[in-house]
Structure 1
Amino acid sequence: MISLPEIGFIVAIVSIYLGVTAVLQNPFLPVVKKILWIVLILLTNWIGLLVYYFTFYVKKSN
């Protein structure tokens, strides 16, 4: 059976993939704004993974 950390990892990868794909397919955004949106998507996912890590793994080790 798939565990909770594996589900979190899969959700992070899928959200990055879908977010970046949606930004790249938007014809109304200039290239600079597309790059900023992609950086924002990656940054928020990274922060979310850090919160996820410290919530589930650091609590278990203490």
Structure 2
Amino acid sequence: MAQSSISKALIAIVVAFVLSMAATASAQAGAPAPAPSMDTGAAFSLPVSGIAVAFSLIISLFAFLKH
């Protein structure tokens, strides 16, 4: 008795999954291609080393503590 209700529940889950996948596939088929994104890069970037960042943080900490 319990075996038949588990089988029915499993079949219902599989059918729902298949229907949702079919709906997703049909919705994506008619969608236009996304617009190309702008080229992004490292234009005008300055190289910053970890030492420079640490030095800046230490100076800022000293200035904060002095105030």
TM-score by length of 2: 0.44
- Structure with more relative contact order (C-alpha pairs < 8 Å, separation 6 or more): 1
Higher radius of gyration, 1 or 2: 2
- Determine which structure has the larger helix proportion and give its number: 1
